Amino acid sequence: MKSNWNRREFLQRTSAATLAAMAAASPIANLLSGCKRIGASEATADTVILLWMAGGMAHTETFDPKRFTQYETGMEGNRVLSTFKPIPTILDGINFSDGLQSIGKVMDKGTLIRSYQAADMGHILHSRHQYHWHTCYEPPQTVAAPHIGSWIAKELGPKNPVIPAFIDIGQRFTVGEAEELKAFHTAGFLGNEYGPFSIPDPSQGLESVRPPVGMDAKRFERRNQLYNDLISSSPVGEFGSDYQKESLKRSMEQAYMLLNSPESKAFDLSTEPKEVYDIYNTGRFGLGCLLARRLTEQGARFISVTTEYEPFKGFDTHENGHTRMVDMKKMIDGPIAQLVKDLDKSGHLDRTMIVLASEFSRDMMVEGKPDAKVKEQVQQPDILSDPKFYGMHRHFTDAGSMLMFGGGIKKGFVYGKTADERPCKTIENPIKIDQVHQTIYHALGIAEDTQYEVEKRPFYTTPDGKGKAVLELLS
């Protein structure tokens, strides 16, 4: 074996080996292993918008409030179940926590789930649980598992041929755990054309669909041709499978088609009326909701909008949980409610499913689950001596809240229940991630046994194809 390769040879050979491995994992195109798709007439949704509360949104501080306890220096931490007062929603007897008044007023248009249980994966890591939520598979996997948006893009294709079928808004890959985040922001073995069209900053969305400033059309055309030539002579072009080559080619063609389409104007948020823009303008997440609404109206298939995961920021509250949650509620409350109202007013909500979710919840005292505690990662004293300890700082996986609107979801419905005292765990109708995914697929008309043959074995949308839709959530 040659052991004195120079750097160029090493890169060439390792690239080829990697591509060969990828090619071996390419699915047999269009093989559904005999599954039968639910008839299109039975589908209740055409589009999905995922509102991702990245970092672990505490259920007792948001959509499932418990007994409120005001901060006092020297108080026992175990007394604190909620650091916000409960407020009424439009649903009789259903409260949210203070700061979520706007979302509470639109709950007659959707379903509240209070019993989501995250998986037990030992030491809790955000990237592992986020991977699990978005792909339905626990990492690591020998096969690159596709994101739920990629499955939907593959099975249903674009609604509008010039709008990418899978659009991801708000997540940068220049922040902490970037490589781990990239691991599930992918179409996996399904191919590049089903991967996300990424827009890290929605206020700059228009820049994603037009040539750089100062580059005229002719120069851009030359650049595009040069890029195609480079791809043809690259390791992908030389060593990639036919499936990979065609998938990459189609993804490039789709992107180029969007650049020259009138639909690209949907990415220009400056054309939105000021009074509406101002409601959404709470930051990148709020503007992401506005962009999601505009893209839905133009025929997007799957859109993810995230508060963005960056360690120790956003919902990743390891300290100052109460004050941090105040800011997060200001960020999400108005835009989410306005998104629901706008889509309802335009008639799009009937066929658009909105899903609000997080990787797990939080508690002040319990790390993991009551009967499956894991190593504590947060210094949380039993006696609170400083306001920074007032809040939900530990990772809690035995309960969590989700919201679902539109696309056939029941209106004004509550599913699941949690205990009123610590540990505030699920006590009625637990729901797991494979059930969540399968409920979404069912609404879209995607059969529960959808599968592709990868590495000579079937790979399903949910592990072993055993996920079942929770039909109680659907009207």
DSSP string, 125-138: -HHHHHHHHHHSSP
Comparing 225 with 456, the larger pLDDT belongs to: 456
Q: Which residue has the tokens 């007394």?
A: 79
Phi and psi angles of residue 116, each rounded to the nearest 5 degrees, phi first: -75, 130
CA distance linking residue 250 with residue 262, whole number of Å: 20
pLDDT at 4: 45
pLDDT for 236 beyond 90? no
Structure tokens at 268: 């220009």
Which residues of 53-204 form beta strands (DSSP E)?
A: 75-76, 86-88, 95-97, 110-113, 166-169, 197-199
Task: Choose the most confident range, by mean pLDDT, from 55-69, 109-123, 161-175, 252-266.
Answer: 55-69
Average pLDDT of span 81-85: 98
Any alpha helices (H) in 260-353, and if so which ranges? Answer: 274-280, 284-297, 321-346
**Whether 71 contacts 384, CB under 8 Å:** yes
Q: Which residues pair with 404 in a beta bridge?
A: 111, 355
Q: Which residue has the tokens 């499932």?
A: 64
CA distance linking residue 415 with residue 435, whole number of Å: 13
Q: What is the CA radius of gyration of the chain?
A: 23
Task: Choose the most confident range, by mean pLDDT, from 34-48, 216-230, 370-384.
Answer: 370-384
Cα–Cα distance list, 447 to 33, 266, 463 (Å): 12, 32, 14
Q: Which residues pair with 260 in a beta bridge?
A: none
Q: Looking at residue 177, what DSSP letter applies?
A: T
Confidence at 376, pLDDT banded by 50, 70, 90: confident
Q: Which residue has the tokens 């765990």?
A: 425
pLDDT for 472 beyond 80? yes
* Torsion region of 384: left, alpha or beta (phi above 0 gives left; psi -120 to 50 gives alpha): beta
Confidence at 225, pLDDT banded by 50, 70, 90: low
Phi and psi angles of residue 295, each rounded to the nearest 5 degrees, phi first: -70, -35
